[in-house]
Amino acid sequence: MDSSVGLTSIEAKALLAQYGPNSIDTATQNSKIRLLLRQFKSPIILILFAATIVSIFVGEITDGVIILAIIIPSGLLGFWQENRAGKTMQTLMRRVQVYVEVVRDGAEIKLPIMEIVVGDLVLLRIGDLVPADLRVVKAEGLMVDESTLTGESFPREKSVGDIDSTKPLGERASELFFGTHVVSGMGQGVVVKSGKNTEFGALSREVNSRDVTTGFERGITAFGKLLLYAMLGLLSALFIINILLNRPLLDSLLFSLALAVGITPQLLPVIISVSLATGARRMAEKQVLVKRLDAIEDFGIMTVLCTDKTGTITAGVVNLDGALDVNGSPNEEVLRLAYLNAKLQRGFANPLDAAIIESVGNKFADLPVLDEVPYDFERRRLSVLVKDSEPRIITKGAFKSVLDVCSQARSGSGLVNIIGMSQKLADQFEKLSAKGNRVLAVATKVLPGETKITSSNEAEMIFEGLLVFQDPPKVDAREAIQELESLGIELYLITGDSRLAAKSIALQVGLKAETVLTGVDLSKLDEKELTQRVKDCQVFAEVDPIQKERIILALRSGGATVGYFGDGINDAAALHAADVGISVDTAVDVAKNAASIVLLDKDLRVIAEGVRLGRRTFVNTMKYVRVGISAAFGNVVSMAIADVFLPFLPLLPTQILLLNFMTDFPAVSISADSVDPEAVEQPRAWDIESIRKFMILFGLLSSAFDIVTFLVLRLGFHASVTEFRSGWFVESTLTELTVMLVLRTKRPFWRSRPGKGLLISSAILASLTILLPFTAIGRVIGLSTLTAPILLILFVLICAYISLNEFAKRHWMH
């Protein structure tokens, strides 16, 4: 195959079959088996399995089978829910595709990154993600950011040559690596490795060889483990006490293990994953795609949102309002030069060039293009060499960057020294910028006999004129910003535009713009000083990509949870630095790749709606965490007290496991629960101290009612062993079901309607719990029928329990 013309479709199809999709995903067909086995990997579950098998061998076959019949469906429930959540995320991720420009059958086409194969000829421009490991076959000022692979923050220049695999990655100038991105220039490369065979794929395999959980899940799991370790000490003591009381060894072990299963938040990671995946699906319906599940938490607790103005605060439809000479008059030649620069450059597609081309139409003829120096964020200009009457370089870029490379200006009387014109041009630039316009400059230089140019040719140029662009604020921009503020989110404007243009737009939409910090101002501040200054400034202008990142880090250092909304190559560093990076589906590849949330509509109102949905997901997750852990704590305290004073086990292991299994069903539906509007008005964060207090207060309250039930059954009704266990089983299950309905809201529970799933599942489980002692299944697991007086007193106790929880909630729940 000829690498200079790319592959044919037939060759590509064969290679795709040979090498597989271009993906670093190391998941295999065994991933579902791993997911299933993970549901049973808890040490307590494994010990319980072993003890159950022992009990079967010693003749306790019925009890052993019942225990297995409970813990196995519990694991299958977790597997089903987690597998379903995974499929949901896979479906959503397909909506954020990265496309790659390649040459196939001799033509330039765009393909999904997954379809790239070894041998493909890939075309790269500024902002593109390198889609595989490539050998460079063409490079024009090609600079690549390899920090994702090497950790090196400075871009590396790439050139044509042979691959030398003996060199370190950072020294391979003729090779491009998957996962890196182009920061300037253009190039072409032939794919030599794809997918898992790339250098980045090799690096990822080590990470993906372990089950990686999100930071949110790790925090919750850590709290669950903390609770578990505390409970294990108590359960060990219970086991020893049961042995000292001459109770059967196997029964004592199974009781302790079953109680451990009951108090351990086994489904906690599963329910969190399901809750977050459900939230992600709902957010997708509102044009918000979540790439990383724990970003939902970050989205919900965001206190600062940083954004550029184009398309978010402004309409995002840039129009060329004028092409002016140095005297401020409309000039056709300045317009023609701008058109040639915009139309002929290939390195950096952008809305400003699109506006120039659209405004000109077919007015001017194209010229042959000889060479190009692509745009980069240090020079802040772009040059093309065209074949006019003689070779001529046309440069377009930021006003000051173009003015600095000019020695003359073209006025009506001819060429004049730039020194005499500089102040006049600066005044004209400031006057136009103060109206909110984006203003660029155009310069030229004749280069006789030249066919190639570099940035060094951008010197001693002739200043030709100014280009004025308009992008007015959105009609609803002020209202959208106020909506974010009502959610506790402060908006910061960070732009590369001029100070005057940024200030004008900021004032029009209601931002505080008395102080505007520029890139020059930022360069004079150290990190500590910057952290202080960002507290008093909402508008930053004339900043480069590294300075954007510094602003984000300074805000985070000051205690803010920062979101950054960006879609350009210059936003990649800031997107990585933010707590939550937000981009749009039309963004450059590197911005979409860096973001954890991708919008299908570039609108601040979409972000506000996404924040509400994110907070709703977080609130529902916290409902399960707080209520589940407090119930677990209450259960173990109750069981511990009862076990010491009763001459028999208060509940059999099978009964404890069944109780735990039944109460898990409504918990799974908590992700779809309704949320009170006031619960999403302010940012909410994970607060272990608050959960600890909640656990102790409502856990002990639960224990108190358990003990009252214990006393009523033993002293009031003189209940037999099976009656006692039946009564306590019914009471414990019903109180767990009802407390979720009471404590899921800070309102009086009758003023906050639960979600249908939670309400219906709770009602069904409550009915089954009451009926179970009267069934054959109940008798198999050691339950017996309950008399009407016992059922009545249990009903009274549960009503009292609901009332006291409601009272405690009003006075102590924050």
Which sequence positions are flagged as catalytic? 308
Residue holding tokens 């089983």? 729
* CA distances, 272 to each of 90, 180, 445, 695, 813 (Å): 17, 33, 63, 18, 22
* CA distances, 438 to each of 444, 487, 526 (Å): 21, 31, 30
Residue 716 is which amino acid? G
| Packed helices 31-38 and 61-93: angle between N→C axes, nearest 10 degrees | 130
Residue 696 is which amino acid? I
Residue 794 is which amino acid? L
The residues near 178 (Cβ < 8 Å, ≥ 6 apart) are 24, 130, 131, 132, 133, 193, 194, 198, 199, 200, 201
Bridge-based pairing of strands 156-157 and 288-290 is unpaired
Query: What's CA 761's distance to the chain center, in Å?
Result: 31
Beta carbons within 10 angstroms of residue 541's beta carbon: 25
**How long is the chain?**
814
| Residue 176: DSSP 8-state | E
221 token code pair: 């799991």
- The torsion angles phi and psi of 438, rounded to 5 degrees, stand at -95, 125
Which residues, in sequence order, are bridge partners of residue 319? 470
- The torsion angles phi and psi of 761, rounded to 5 degrees, stand at -65, -35
Residue 793 CA to residue 807 CA, distance in Å, equals: 21
| HEC secondary structure over 252-298 | HHHHHHHHHHHHCCCCHHHHHHHHHHHHHHHHHHCCEEECCCCHHHH
Residue 634 CA to residue 444 CA, distance in Å, equals: 80
Residue 685 CA to residue 693 CA, distance in Å, equals: 16
| Residue 472: DSSP 8-state | P
